[in-house]
Chain A
Amino acid sequence: MISANLNTYLIISAILLVIGLYGMVQHRSLIGMLISSEFILNGAALNFMAFNRFVAPNPAIGQIYTLFIMGIAAAEAAIVISIIITVYRKFNCEDPEQLQDMKM
């Protein structure tokens, strides 16, 4: 049974992290980079849940960590979207290479 094996979930979360890294380097827009960061956070959360299911003595702590990650991801998405809207208003573009001064 491959679904009851710790290594399966570790590999899946590693591939999610790699997908996030790849997208973070490859995307040329701020929203694309935000999407990639969500993948990285999901890989971390899946890792926590896998260890929680298979090795941790207290089964609540991994779930609480994952809830914490979800809350932080939601807060981060809201903040980043409002920053992107402000940047778009100021610079009229979303290209990260053209954003060179931080003056609002």
Chain B
Amino acid sequence: MIVYKYIAEALFYAFVVLTFMGGFMAIRSRLLMHAVLGLAISLFGVAGLYFYLGSPFLTMMQILIYVGAVCIIIVLGVMLGNTPDQLAIKNITRRNLLLALLACSTGFVALFVATISRTEFVPATQKVGDMSIRFIGESLLFQYCLAFELISVILLTAIIGSIILARGGREGKVS
């Protein structure tokens, strides 16, 4: 039975590697389509991490919403936007690299060293409810009803807003 634990651990490493490789591919590739592919791979890895955090529901939602919807929207944007090649090539300038490395290293060091290693996280003494879908559904409909309604209002506003924004034809185009 200990073998199953090792297999689960190896799968965890695989999901972590998937996440980071996808992220690296998304930020370092020159073609935007490869960047979107890297984003999809990375989001798939994060979905696996959600499974290890004990929530199969969020795993499915992550694959459905992020990999299925958001990545497809971004692919549509890439195909409609038609970024020229020279813009993609001049992506990596020396100033940009320097700024990016500076921003990342400071953020990472601040987060990694100062907070995580010194803080003692105390688990809750008693838990109410469990991680089941039934409990999430009941909480969404009774206790966190406002959040549920806000999500729907935000999505409706986004649909209407994006239709209005992208509706106008090509008559306003600067040639």
Q: Are A79 and B161 in contact (CB under 8 A)?
A: yes
User: What is the minimal beta-carbon distance from B9 to any residue of chain A, in angstroms?
Assistant: 6
What residues of chain A lie closer than 8 Å to B84, measured between beta carbons? 93
Within 8 A of B (CB), among A47-96: 49-50, 52-61, 63-64, 66-68, 70-79, 81-86, 88-95
User: What is the minimal beta-carbon distance from A10 to any residue of chain B, in angstroms?
Assistant: 5
- Chain A residue nearest to B20 (CB atoms) is A15
Contact of A31 among B83, B97, B108, B168 (CB under 8 A): B83
What residues of chain B lie closer than 8 Å to A38, measured between beta carbons? 39, 43, 66, 70
Inter-chain CA distance A85–B76, complex, in Å, is 10
For the side of the interface on B, what is the size category? 35 or more
Contact of A63 among B80, B100, B136 (CB under 8 A): B136
Contact of A70 among B26, B62, B91, B128 (CB under 8 A): B62
Counting chain A CB atoms within 10 Å of each CB, the highest count among B8, B23, B55, B151 belongs to B23
Within 8 A of B (CB), among A6-46: 6-7, 9-12, 14-19, 21-23, 25-32, 34-36, 38-39, 42, 45-46
| Supplied contacts A14-B112, A15-B108, 15 more A-B pairs, CB within 8 Å | A1-B9, A3-B52, A9-B53, A15-B23, A39-B23, A39-B27, A49-B58, A59-B129, A59-B131, A63-B131, A73-B66, A74-B70, A82-B166, A90-B172, A94-B81
Closest 9 CB pairs of A and B: A75-B158, A23-B27, A57-B124, A82-B166, A82-B162, A81-B77, A3-B12, A19-B23, A60-B139
